[in-house]
Amino acid sequence: MANKENSLAHTKWMCKYHIVFTPKYRRKIIYNQYKESIRDILKQLCNYKGVEIIEGHLMPDHIHMLVSIPPKMSISSFMGYLKGKSALMIFDKHANLKYKYGNRHFWAEGYYVSTVGLNEATIRKYIQEQEKHDIMVDKLSVKEYEDPFKG
């Protein structure tokens, strides 16, 4: 899949991006009862625009996606569409979130994006193992609550 080229009328293209974006205030809302709903909404919106989700993972406080976007669409316009429409759809489906995230602001401003090029396998592996890495970092950063040198 790393060298799969798509085509338009007179164009061959392979535009893949690694995207990371977060809920407002990095609230850990994604792993609650909304995880499946948010995943389905993002898939649906990507299908509407002809964007292929190659890899994706919903972390407790952010989302990683590896996507293939047609060159006729800019990454900024796609992200504006994705975050804007998904916020509206999330609030329509889960009306109780309106009180937590007033004014229909679900996502934080901005996002991270990088082009993938031909190292797609490395980025796919990174996305798949991101949660394991975060768990290990959390386990290693556990503080001692008692002084281990007291007798």
Q: Is 40's pLDDT higher than 80?
A: yes
- Which has more pLDDT, 130 or 118? 130
Are the C-beta atoms of residues 113 and 77 closer than 8 Å to each other?
no
Q: Is residue 8 part of a domain?
A: no
CB atoms within 10 A of CB 97: 17
* Distance (Å, whole) CA 55 – CA 75: 17
Which of the residues are catalytic? 126
Total domains present in the chain: 1
In which domain, by residue range, is 111 found?
Answer: 13-140
Dihedral angle, C-alpha 85, 87, 92, 94, nearest 10 °: 150
Q: Is residue 150 part of a domain?
A: no
Q: Is residue 92 part of a domain?
A: yes
Q: What is the CATH classification number for the domain harbouring 26?
A: 3.30.70.1290
pLDDT tens profile 85-120: 998 888 888 777 767 666 667 888 999 998 887 777
Q: Is residue 102 part of a domain?
A: yes
> DSSP H helical segments within the chain, as ranges?
35-49, 75-93, 97-100, 120-140
Q: pTM of the prediction?
A: 0.75
Nearest Cα to 56, choosing from 134, 132, 123, 136?
A: 123
Q: Is residue 4 part of a domain?
A: no
Q: Is 79's pLDDT higher than 90?
A: yes
Q: Is residue 116 part of a domain?
A: yes
